[in-house]
Structure 1
Amino acid sequence: MSAAQPSSPDKEFPYWLAAAGAIAAGVAIYVGTSDLYAQVFSIVVRGIGITIFVTLVGFALASALGLGIALMALSGSRVLREISRFYVEIIRGVPIIVLLFWIAFAGVPAFVAGWNWLTGPLAQAGIVEPMMVRDISLLWRAVIALTIGYSAFISEVFRAGIQSVDPGQIEAAKALGLSRFQRFRLIVMPQALRTILPPLGNDFVAMVKDSSLVSVLGVADITQMGKVYAAGSFRFFETYSIVAYIYLLLTVSLSLALRGLEKRLRRGPTG
C-alpha cells in the first residue's frame, strides 16, 4: 500500500489566516468598545490617506523607472548597459532612510540651485519665477526618494522576468515581421508577467511598510500621526499597538490579494 501523498499547499486550510482573522476581529471589537483605543485609532487613521498616496504614487513611478532601467540593461548598447548597472549597484547600496534624507535635504536643494542657474536669464527677463526649495514639499521629496530607491530593485525584477522568456518565441515574432514594440507588448511582457508578479508584489508590500519612513520628514502618515499623539499623551503602548495593527491590516490584505492574482495567472484565462 503506497504512502499517502502530502496535500498541495494551495489546498491546505489556512489555519494561520483563521487565527490572524480572529485576532484582528477581536482587536477591532476591543477598539470599538474602548474609549481610549477608539480615540487613538481615530487620530492615527487620519494618516492612512498619505500612506496610501505615497505607496501608490511611489510604486507606480518606481515601476516605470525600473522598467526603463531594465530595458537599458538588456539593450545592445554597451554604454546603456553600463549606466544601468552603475545606477542599480549604487542605489541598492544606500539604505532607504539615508536616501530619504539625502534627497530631502541635499538632492532637492541642489536641483533647485541648478534649475535657477539654467533659467537665470529667463528669470531676469521676468519670464519665469526663480524656484524656491520650499516649493517642493516634503511629501514629494519622500515620494521621489522611495521612487529612486525602489526602482533599482524593481529593475532587477523586470530584467529577470524578461530574460525568462524563451528566445525562440522572440525570433519567431521577428520572422513574422513584428516590430520591437509589438514583440515586447504581445510576446515578451505577457509571459514575463507571470515571473515578475510575485517579487513585484513583495516589493509593493515592502513599500507599504517603508512608507512609514516618511514620518522622519514630518509627513503626516500613519506613523507620524502615532508619534505626535504618543508624544502628547504618553500613551506609547496603546498608540503603537494601533499603528502596528493598521499596518498589518494593510500588508496582510495586500499579500492575500496578490496571492489570489498569482493563482489566477497560473491557471490561465480558461481557469
Structure 2
Amino acid sequence: MSTSTSTPSWRPSELELSRRNVRRRATGRSVLIGIVSTIAFATIVGLLIVNTPGWESVKASFFNFEVGAASVPSILVGLWLNIQVLFISAIGVAIFGTLLAVTRSLRGPVFFPLRAAATIYTDLFRGMPLLIVLYLVGFGLPALDIFPRMPAMFWGTIALILTYSAYVAEVLRAGMEAVHPSQRMAARSLGLSHAKTLRIVVIPQGVRKVVPALMNDFVSMQKDVGLISILGAVDAVRAAQIQVAQSYNFTPYVIAALLFVAMSWPMIRLTDWLTARLAKREQIGGVV
C-alpha cells in the first residue's frame, strides 16, 4: 500500500494580508494626492506666467511654432554629432578613468611617482571648468603644429575625456576603497596577484557600489557635450544658434533644449530606478 504525503504550501497569515491591503490603499491615496497636487500646482504656475505683462512678447520670441518646426531638421543633424561625441567620450572616460583609479590604488613606494601623477591629474581637471579645458585643448593643442589637422569634434571629445575621467576615477576609487580589506586578503591568500585581485575581486564589487554615481556623471556628460559648439563644431547648439541668427527668434534654442532633455531623460529615469532598487536590496534584510 502506497501512502502519499503532501507538504502544505506557505501562505501569508491574515495579519500579513491585512497589512498588505493597508499599504496598497495608502499607496493608492498617495499617488492620487500626488497627481492632483501636481496638476493644481502646474495650473497655478501656468496661469501666473500667462497673465504676466510680457508673456505675449516671450511667447512670440521663444515659442514660435513656425520657426521651431523649420529649425528641427538642422538641429537633429547637429544632435547626431553630439550623440557620436558622447558615445566615443563615454568609452574613453570608462577606460582612462579606470586606469587612473587603479593607478591611485597601487601600493608600494616604487609606485609613488605614478600615484602622485594620477593625484595631480585628478585634482587639476576636477578643479578646472570644462569650458576652459575646451579652449585650452581645442585652440592650444592645434597651435603646437605637432598634430595633423583634426575636426573640432575630435578636440571636443578629447577635452570631455580629460575632464570626466578625473571625476569617474575618483568615484571608482571610492568604490574600490569601500570593498572590505578581507576581500583583498582572501584573494591574495588564494594565490591571486595584485592585478588579478583588482580585476576579479575589487573592481567588480567597487563598481556595483558606485553605479548610481557613475550614471549621474554620464548624465552630466550628456549635457556638457553641447559645449563643443564653442570650438566651431556644428552640433545641436550651434545649429540652433545659426537658426536664431537667421530668424531673429529664440525658439530654436528651446527646441535644442528639449532634444537634450529627451536624450537625457531615459538615463535619468534609469539612474533613479537603479538607485531605488539598490536601496531596496540593502534594506530587504530589515523588513518586518
Q: Scaled by the length of structure 2, what TM-score is found?
A: 0.71
Structure 1 residue 193, shift from structure 2 partner: 1.6
Where does residue 114 of structure 2 map in the other structure? 80
1:209 aligns with 2:223: yes
Where does residue 138 of structure 2 map in the other structure? 104
Counterparts of 1:94 and 1:49 in 2: how far apart (Å)? 28
Residue 271 of structure 2 aligns with an amino acid whose one-letter code is L
Say if 1:194 and 1:266, in contact at 8 Å, map to a contact too: no
Deviation sequence 1:220-261 (CA, Å, 0-9, x none): 21111100111111121x111111111111222211123334
Deviation sequence 1:189-209 (CA, Å, 0-9, x none): 221122221111111111111
Quote the RMSD (CA, aligned, Å).
3.0
Aligned length: 229
1:231 aligns with 2:231: no
Say if 1:47 and 1:222, in contact at 8 Å, map to a contact too: yes
| Residue 240 of structure 1, aligned match among 247, 250, 253 | 253
Counterparts of 1:60 and 1:102 in 2: how far apart (Å)? 22
Deviation sequence 1:16-73 (CA, Å, 0-9, x none): 9x97xx9xxxxxxxxxxx5443222222122121111111211221221111111111
Structure 2: gaps (5+ residues): 1-21, 43-64
| Residue 71 of structure 1, aligned match among 84, 87, 102 | 102
Where does residue 183 of structure 1 map in the other structure? 197
Say if 2:176 and 2:202, in contact at 8 Å, map to a contact too: yes
| Residue 76 of structure 2, aligned match among 45, 51, 54 | 45
Deviation sequence 1:110-141 (CA, Å, 0-9, x none): 2x43xxxxxxxxxxxxxxxxx54x2x211101
Q: State the identity as a percent.
A: 28
Structure 1 or 2, whichever has the larger Rg, is 2
Deviation sequence 1:138-179 (CA, Å, 0-9, x none): 110110011101111111011101000011011011111223
| Residue 146 of structure 1, aligned match among 138, 143, 160 | 160
1:164 aligns with 2:183: no
Structure 1 residue 184, shift from structure 2 partner: 2.1
1:250 aligns with 2:250: no
Counterparts of 1:252 and 1:15 in 2: how far apart (Å)? 20
Say if 2:67 and 2:252, in contact at 8 Å, map to a contact too: no
Structure 1: gaps (5+ residues): 23-33, 114-130
